[in-house]
Amino acid sequence: MKLRLMLWLLGVMLKRALRRKARFRELLGEMRGLDWGIATEDLTIARHYRMSSQGIRVGNGLPVDLDLELRFEDAATAIRVLKKPTQQAFLDGMMAGTVRLVGDSGDLQKLQRLLKHL
């Protein structure tokens, strides 16, 4: 339940940043959008975000056409990593096998640049 709330709140924060923060809009415009999602490995909890400079759409589940997916071993691991989403936390999780990145690691760096402006 806590992870579901965190992912819903992330969607609200992304939409708010798009409305209020010029630098966030500027970076998103330079990227020409980013479609990404977060899920547990068994897909019991999954949410995706379709971001462009025109707007942000959020939905349940993970469509197959996403640029980037972050998959976590379980909800507790996801909460621990997402509370402090540093590059080192993701690398440690990948090395331990609790975090899996599906997609291009360059997209993860773009996402981290955007999330700094929340």
C-alpha 100/C-alpha 74 separation (Å) is 11
Here the tokens at position 105 are 């690691």
The string of pLDDT tens digits covering residues 46-78 is 999 999 888 999 999 999 989 999 999 999 999
pLDDT value for 91: 85
Q: Where are the domains positioned within the chain?
A: 2-115
Mean pLDDT in each 10-residue stretch from start to end of the chain (118 residues)? 92 93 90 91 94 91 91 92 83 90 87 85
Q: Does domain 2-115 have CATH number 3.30.1050.10?
A: yes
